[in-house]
Amino acid sequence: MSIRVALHHKTNYNYDQLIQLTPHLVRLRPAPHTRTPVHRYSLKVEPREHFVHWQQDPFGNHVASFTFREKTRRFSVEVDLVVEMVTINPFDFFVEEYAENWPFNYEAHLKKDLSPYLELKEQGKLLRAWVGAVPREKKHIIDLLVDLNRRLSLDIGYVIRMEPGVQSCEQTLDLAKGSCRDSAWLLVQILRHFGLAARFVSGYLVQL
C-alpha cells in the first residue's frame, strides 16, 4: 500500500533596503529520472514581476533561471510537491559482466565520461586510514557496496544538523557523527578511493 506525502518548502530573504536582484538559478525540481512518482509540483517566486526560463544542466537536472525587473525588499522561493511513497527494490539494476567483481577497470570511453565522478576531492589522514582498513581481496561488487555502507553506518552516528553546508570527511570521521548529507558526501569520497564512480545528490528525508 502506497502513501502520498505533501511537501512544502519555503525560503524567505528580507532586506533592510530596496535592492536589485541579480539573476537566480533555482534547483528545486525533482530529477526527471526519479523513480518516486510525482503527482503535483509547483514553484512560486516573489517578486512576481519576473521572467523565468527552464533549462537543463549537464547532469539532466531541471533548473529555473529567474531574472527580475524591479527593485525589492523581499525575495522568496516556495515549492509544493505531492509524491507517492512506494517501495523500491534498491538491487533492481544490471551489472555489466566486466564489473561483477571488484577491482575492475571501466571501459575506456565510459571512464572518460565518468571522470568527474572519479575525482578525489578529499584525501585526509582519517579518510585514508578508514579506506585502508577495508580488506582488498577480490569481492563481488554488490557485496562490496553493501559492506561499505554497513561499515559507514556503524562508524558514523546520524544527527539532525541545521547548520548550512556539508562537513568535510575529516570532520565527520573525527566526530563519528553527521547528518545524512555529511554521510553521503563521505560515502562518495570512499567509493571514489575504491575507483568507483560516485556523485552526490540531494533530496528530502521523509520520516513518517
pTM of the model: 0.83
Amino acid at 23: P
What is the predicted pLDDT for the residue at 29?
Answer: 94
Give the burial class of 91: count Cβ atoms within 10 A of its Cβ; 0-12 exposed, 13-18 middle, 19 or more buried: exposed
Mean pLDDT comparison of 25-29, 87-91, 203-207, highest-scoring range = 25-29
Per-residue model confidence as pLDDT tens digits over 92-139: 889 999 999 999 999 999 999 999 999 999 999 999 999 999 998 999
Question: How far is the CA of 197 from the CAs of 8, 15, 34, in angstroms?
Answer: 33, 42, 19
